Amino acid sequence: MPITRMDHFTVLTKDAKTTAEFYSSILGMEIGPRPNLKVRGVWLYCEGLALLHVIEKDDVPDTTGVLDHVAFCGTDLASLVANLEARKVAYELGRFPGGGPSSGDWQLFFRDPNGARVEVDLPASEPDPRRSA
């Protein structure tokens, strides 16, 4: 049985409210309905899909494990950078190296409040927000 798409990812946290607010304010995800599960948490939606499951636990591991990061596609690089800077969230911004279909696209990396590494990929046509600073 082949897979057809990515369904969701889960972030473990000691503070689901803060984590949900972070993703909502930085990436524009919307807090939405969640089944009555045995664990505390919040589901965040993007275009009607429950893309991020936030699970609140009292004991959260200090490591991110073998998965390196989660990546999203986005638009409006200047607003995203301004939002991160306003919230004093450190980030790395660069262009995807040449040689493939994503050549020249923007890659922006930052960490969520729990240390999870997040990537946002944006079209190469987006203006460089560093030039207006």
Give the pLDDT score at 60: 82
Map out the domains of the chain with their CATH numbers: 6-59 (3.10.180.10), 69-133 (3.10.180.10)
Spatial separation of the C-alpha atoms in residues 60 and 14, rounded to whole Å: 7
Give the pLDDT score at 132: 59
pLDDT of 126 above 90: yes
* Each residue's pLDDT tens digit, 62-121: 776 767 789 999 999 999 999 999 999 999 999 988 766 677 899 999 999 988 999 999
Listed as own residue / partner, the contacts of 62-67 with beta carbons closer than 8 Å and 24 or more positions apart are 64/115, 64/116, 64/117
* Each residue's pLDDT tens digit, 1-34: 787 788 899 999 999 999 999 999 999 999 999 9
* Each residue's pLDDT tens digit, 25-53: 999 999 999 999 999 999 999 999 999 99
Query: What pTM was computed for the model?
Result: 0.86
In sequence order, the β-bridge partners of residue 71 are 119
Give the pLDDT score at 133: 53
Spatial separation of the C-alpha atoms in residues 64 and 44, rounded to whole Å: 20
Tokens read off for 10: 């889960």
